Every structure is written in structure tokens, then in C-alpha cells.
Amino acid sequence: MTRHVAVIGAGSSGLACIKCCLDEGLEPVCFESSDDIGGLWRFKENPESDRASIYHSVIINTSKEMMCFSDFPIPAHFPNFMHNSYIMDYFNMYADHFQLRQYINFQTRVLSVKPRPDFSCSGQWDVETESRDGKRESHVFDAIMVCVGHHCHPRLPLSDFPGIETFKGKYFHSRDYKTPDKWRGKRAVVIGIGNSGGDIAVELSRVTKQCFLSTRRGAWVLNRVGDNGMPLDMVFTRVTRLFQRILPYEFFCGIVEKRLNQRFNHALYGLQPRHRFYSQHPTLNDELPNRILSGTVLVKPNVKEFRGSSVVFDNGSVEHDIDLVVFATGYSFSFPFLPSHVLSVSDNKTSLYKYVYPPGLEHPTLAIIGLIQPLGAIMPISEMQARWATRVFKGLNKLPSMSVMMNDIKCKEEEMAKRFLNLHQRKKVCDFQKTHHPSGLRSLHG
């Protein structure tokens, strides 16, 4: 029986894994490269290399009712949509309540995770770590849970922007943006209209002389407040999911798009997407339409090129005297400590059964937890993944044959390819309600 489990990362997924290991009588040892828990949600003024970093004002896009762990509700007096400081308070309360910190080795990097020479018999792993003072240690574990997330390396596609080397202002990735203060009275361009791009454009527009928001495809923009003042993600119930399965795809997208355009006409605001609603992640932003309406945010098409301090857009328009460009262009992920024959990542893609298990291993003792970009909250999904994985480690649940797993992966890939435009999202997108549906992870728990 599997006993010792290495958990790599002490963010939201890592904490859930430690707790699930303890629930199943396993012995977790967590390795966290930073000095505290929280992962993505811990604000730091100076970002650490190869780690995501948030800006000071970040508020989560999922309500507390839908994002909390199943056995530890978020306090009633916390706001429905929480600032990152509240999220950290919740994680600290969770870790303290279940006494999880004693299992975490802080400021310890995982250098390598390799199958042992007798892996075909034992299913065990050799793990090498390095502490803050440079001391290296070797360990043997019966199973591995990787919880490093997908916000690892900022994607800064400078080669797509001719003339960027001539730009006279300042440019950086959104992970390096913290507050708008130093850009008061300046002219700024934000490239990308995902959640970060929308948030940063809105925040900069409060202090800049002018903020431009550049988008290639446009976006469907949602409000956190749903019908009757309820949090939006509480409005999307199982009934909604039922209609989504029954009704034709184009028809259901049309219903949602009509509702969104009743709030504000996306075409009039320069945001009309080229894609249907369910073909790309929507953008959650409560203030963007107001900022566009007031002229503090001007929507622009894709950047064609840079000319010194000027920015040329695809429609031929030119904006001069630009002081700042923020690239809200997303992240890529990797597992540098894992051999490529165990799990390979190519073009931000990897193949996992149910987004958790590499299908080619002789023993299912490696689980990737939280490598998903859900249409909903990640915490409950990571918890369900962790529950399933720990039961597989104990032998209480079995994985199907490799051929069945590969076929499932292929079907998911084909489904994502038809539905989603963004290649970098396809391999890790899942639907919150679909994952919680009996045909999803819940049915795998036994």
C-alpha cells in the first residue's frame, strides 16, 4: 500500500492534497519553494522567478460559495467576491484548522523526480530537493502529487510585435504590474483582454492621461453580479448545464450572447468577438463598459508595430507618446523536474487522463493536480482530483487500461479543438459543472 506521498507546491491545490492524503491515512511531505503557502494568491511586491505574481488589487472572479473547500466553508462575514488578502486569510485558516503546516518544507525546491530503477515493481520515485542554504537531499516516495499550476512562465511574445526594440517607453508582462501609481498622467497601452488585461486597463485608466486596450479578437464581457443581485456563478446551475447539453450549441450560445448584448452592445463598444460565447474564456469585469463609455479606456485592435514611442494598430491608427505597454498575454507551464518520457510538455500542451494522470506509466503513482483552467472555481475541482488520486494510490480505485485512457484523452482533445479557439487553453480547460457532474470526477471516486 502507498504510504509516503510527495506533494510539490503549497498553493490551493497543494493544501487540498495534503488534507486528502491525511484523510486516507497516507503520509504527505510537501515541498514549497517559497516561504509561505498560497501560491498564486500570495501578493509579493517583487515577483519570484518562474512563479505567477498578482497585482495588489486582484479580486477573485468566483464567489466564495462556489470556491470554498467542501469541508471548510468560507466565513459568512467575508465578501462574496474576495480580495486576494481575504483569500490568503482563508487559506491560512484552512491550513491552521487541519494542522497542515507541519507537513510543509518551505524554501525547498524540487530538482528532480525520477522513477526508481525498480519502478516496474514498486511504482516508487526518487526525489531530489534543495533547501534554502543549498543543501541537497535524496528521498524515496511511493507517490507524487504535482501542484505547481499553469501560471509558471509569463508569455511575452515580443517577436509578434515588430519594432518593439525601438520602443522608448517601458514595457513588461502583467505579472510585473503591481499598482498604477507611477503611471499617473501617462499614456498606456494594455495588450490582451483576458481578466488581467481588463483589470489592469481599468485600474490604469483611473490615473493615466489615456489608456488604450488592444485586442485581437474582442471578448464577451461578464459582470460578477447576476440576476437579482446574486453572484453570477451561482446563477449557472445544473439546470443551465442541462439546457446546454440538450440545446444545439449555436442556439445556446445565441441565447447567452443576446443577454450580454442587452447589458451593453459589444459591437458599439469595440468588443464584439469573432467567436461564440463558449469558444473562448469570457472576461469578467464590472467596470470596463463604464470606462469605455467615459473615454478613459479606448479599445483598439491588435498592435501592428512599434515606432519609437508610437504604437501602430492593425486598422492603421497610430497613438503617439506612449509611456507604458503592459503585455497581458498569459502564461505557459512546464515540469522541469520530470523527465520528458514521464510527462512531456510541447507548445503548452500535455496529455493527461481526466486532466490528472499520465496514461503511459506502469503504476498510477504520479498525479498532476490543478493543471486546469476551469469555467468556474479551481479549488473544488483540485480537491476532487486529490480525493480521487489518493484513493487510486491506496488501490481503492483503479484506472482503466491505457487504450481506454488514450481514447478518452483523444476525445477530449477533439472536443476542445472544436470548441476553443486558443491553442494554449485547449489542453487545460474544463467546465466546473461538467467536472462536478456524475459523468465527471465524482463518478470516479467509487
How far apart, in Å, are the Cα atoms of 258 and each of 105, 198, 245, 261, 277? 51, 22, 19, 5, 10
SS (H, E, C) 58-74: CECCCCHHHHCECCECC
* pLDDT surpassing 50 at residue 433: no
Q: How far is CA 440 from the centre of its chain?
A: 20
SS3 50: coil
For position 2, what pLDDT does the model report? Answer: 60
Residue type, 434: K
Instruction: Name 305's bridge partners.
Output: 312
Q: How many CA within 13 A on the CB side of residue 101? A: 11
Going by their DSSP bridges, the two strands 310-313 and 303-307 should be labelled as: antiparallel
pLDDT confidence tier of residue 432, bands split at 50, 70 and 90 = very low
Q: Which of 169, 176, 216 is nearest to 196 (CA)?
A: 176
Residues 373-414 have pLDDT tens digits of 887 889 999 999 999 999 999 999 999 999 999 999 999 888
The answer, as to whether pTM is greater than 0.75, is yes
Segment among 145-149, 228-232, 303-307, 437-441 with least mean pLDDT: 437-441
Is residue 317 scored above 70 in pLDDT?
A: yes
Burial class (CB in 10 A: 0-12, 13-18, 19+), 416: middle
Strands (E), 205-358: 210-214, 221-222, 283-284, 297-300, 303-307, 310-313, 318-319, 324-327, 331-332
pLDDT above 50: residue 233:
yes
Q: Which residues pair with 6 in a beta bridge?
A: 29, 144
Q: Which residues pair with 139 in a beta bridge?
A: 127
For strand 283-284 and strand 221-222, is the pairing parallel, antiparallel, or unpaired?
parallel
Contact criterion met (CB below 8 Å) for 321 and 178: no
List, in order, residues 6 or more apart from 259 with CB less than 8 Å away.
none
